[in-house]
Amino acid sequence: MLTLTFPTLMTERLVLRGPEASDFAAVACFFADETRSSGFGGPLDRTEAWRWFASMIGHWALHGYGFWMADSKDGQTVGMVGIWYPEGWPEPELGWVMFENGEGSGYSFEAAEAIRMHAYKTLGFKTLSSNIFPGNIRSVALAERLGAVHERDYENVTHGTEMVYRHPAPVEMLP
């Protein structure tokens, strides 16, 4: 069996850790919910959700970064937040999704901010964007709260039209 090592990031209220096989049930539940998963390429049936989950782990092996699972300090897995850069995309994306038990808590902001700083300080990224489906007002609000600005729209090879929100560059954020 291949062993991958994932960095663990800590925030005030979260532990951001690599995905584990036991996380699949929560991921499949998320993708089965049409309302929640629509901004993330869903809904997906269980087989498609498994393929997405396995590709998320493979993404770590190929790029050295990916989606972290977000656990609250009381041990509940509340979402997934990370950096995604599949074939055909113009650049790495900072993305987020909260499961039902993590919505409305500010966890997305906390996790995205920590992962963005990790990308800039540790991985050496010079920029990040977030791709958001038109009409996803909650993700737009989060991107803007993170300081990202709408840069342009583009045609995503798998999702159709998306809005690209550009995050502040490291020089604008790092001391």
- All structural domains of the chain with their residue ranges: 9-124
What tokens appear for 138 in the block?
């909650």
Q: Tens digit of pLDDT for each residue in 29-63? A: 999 999 888 878 889 999 999 999 999 999 999 99
Residue 175: pLDDT above 70? Answer: no
pLDDT for position 3: 84
Q: What is residue 173's predicted lDDT score, i.e. its pLDDT?
A: 73
The pLDDT of 132-146, averaged and rounded, is 95
Q: What confidence score (pLDDT) does residue 174 get?
A: 62
Percent of the chain with pLDDT over 70: 98
Coil, helix or strand for 91?
Answer: coil
Instruction: Supply the pLDDT for residue 43.
Output: 94
Average model confidence (pLDDT) across the chain: 94
Query: Which of the pair, 132 or 42, is modelled with greater confidence?
Result: 132
Using an 8 Å Cβ cutoff, are 105 and 98 in contact? yes
In CATH, the number for domain 9-124 is: 3.40.630.30
Helix (H) or strand (E) segment spanning residue 36: helix 34-37
123, pLDDT greater than 80: yes
Residue 89's identity, in one-letter code, is W
Q: What is the pLDDT of residue 156?
A: 86
Closest CA to 65 of 44, 49, 81, 52: 81
Whole-number Å distance between alpha carbons of 147 and 90: 21
pLDDT per residue as tens digits for the range 66-92 = 999 999 999 999 999 999 999 988 899
Distances (CA, A) of 12 to 75, 101, 114: 14, 18, 10
0.85 surpassed by pTM? yes
Query: Terminus-to-terminus CA distance in the chain, angstroms?
Result: 42
Mean pLDDT for the stretch of residues 145-174: 91
